[in-house]
Amino acid sequence: MKKKIAIIIMMTCCIAMTGCTASDKAEMITSESAAREENPFSSQIDQATTEAAYSWGIANYDKEKRTITYDGNGLELEIEIDNMQAACEIGFMVFIDGIAQPYRLEEDTAEAYIHPIELEESTKKTVLLTLEPEFAIAGNEHEMYIASMYGPSYRVTEENAGYGNYESILPCLPWKIKYAARDHADCTDDQVQYTDLPDEVRKQYIIESSDGTTTNKLDTQLVTKYVQNGTIVENAKIDVSDDLTLQLYGGENQKYRICAMVDHCPVSVFGGKAYCDVVVESGRMAEVTVGFQELSEIQNYSPLYFVLCPIDETGYRDNLLIDKTSSAYFVRE
């Protein structure tokens, strides 16, 4: 069985108050004790087997202001990557107004939503992302989220039916793009049902400290779960012939634009739409109905995950992060 690599990602920029430092940092640790800690971007932690550490940041715009004035003639993003330890593979995802953006990498003329990038051991590398932005919210200011993904070329097999920490992401703080655009998102909110969060679910996240005081992870942590046939999916295996329900609860009150990614490409699975808007509120559970039956191109072991982009229609906020569900894979029963 192919060994999995455990990654613990710790942001070294102060997100809530001061924004990022010169670049977005990640430190990946492989001690046995660290491997048992919770990865904020993936719940699938395996025993560590190797080391890797890298950081990255946008180099051709002001990192402090994080603002881009777009003229409508294509957008170029110069990404500086510092791989500080073992060789590894990463890729970048770009979202604007919650919409996945295809882009070209370097001289490669083919557009894709993620391009795998090989990083040699202890080296620095600069790559150029070129895209024609698609905007989806009316107005003059738009939010751009970028995240790197660890091991985007990894694929589940019959012998190794799990992800470990492959496809975990390292997001940066949002950038503001100034450009006049109209709302034309392929988006719906009809696939969402809201109910009160059951007490038995909330109790699962209570933590009692040594002094006897209690806290609840749901006060600060967004939780996502896959459900099929009324049962929570625990083994990352999704039956393509049945509807899937995505549950969301916990964390700050926030509106998200959700995109389903199959083989790293967005797919129209929300009643024929590619994106679904969901409002997460304290004490409530949002359940999104997702249908894959019409997607004939889905193969066994095709990877699936959902990307959640914060949507702030009341004004730009610079302390929000893109999120991602744990990766799953399809089977045809």
- Give the count of domains, the chain: 2
- Indicate the residue among 155, 181, 207 that finishes a domain: 181
- Reported as a single tens digit per residue, the pLDDT across 206-253 is 998 888 899 999 999 999 999 999 999 988 999 988 889 999 999 989
Residue 81, pLDDT above cutoff 70:
yes
* 173 and 31 together in one domain: yes
Is the residue at 11 inside a domain?
no
Query: Mean pLDDT throughout 80-109?
Result: 92
pTM of the entire predicted model = 0.84
Q: What is the CATH number of the domain that holds 199?
A: 2.60.40.2550
* 230 and 279 together in one domain: yes
* 213 and 325 together in one domain: yes
- Residues in contact with 138: Cβ distance below 8 Å, sequence separation at least 6, in sequence order: 181, 182, 183
Query: Mean pLDDT throughout 148-157?
Result: 94
Is the residue at 15 inside a domain?
no
The dihedral over CA atoms of 257, 263, 264, 269, expressed in degrees to the nearest 10, equals: -20
Residue 281, pLDDT above cutoff 80:
yes
* 148 and 267 together in one domain: no
* 194 and 170 together in one domain: no
Q: How confident is the model at residue 315 (pLDDT cuts 50, 70, 90)?
A: low
Is the residue at 291 inside a domain?
yes
- Residues in contact with 299: Cβ distance below 8 Å, sequence separation at least 6, in sequence order: 330
Containing structural domain, residue 125: 24-181
Is the residue at 10 inside a domain?
no
Residue 318, pLDDT above cutoff 80:
no
The listed range with the strongest mean pLDDT (2-6, 12-16, 289-293, 314-318) is 289-293
- What pLDDT score does 158 carry? 86
* 211 and 325 together in one domain: yes
- What pLDDT score does 160 carry? 86
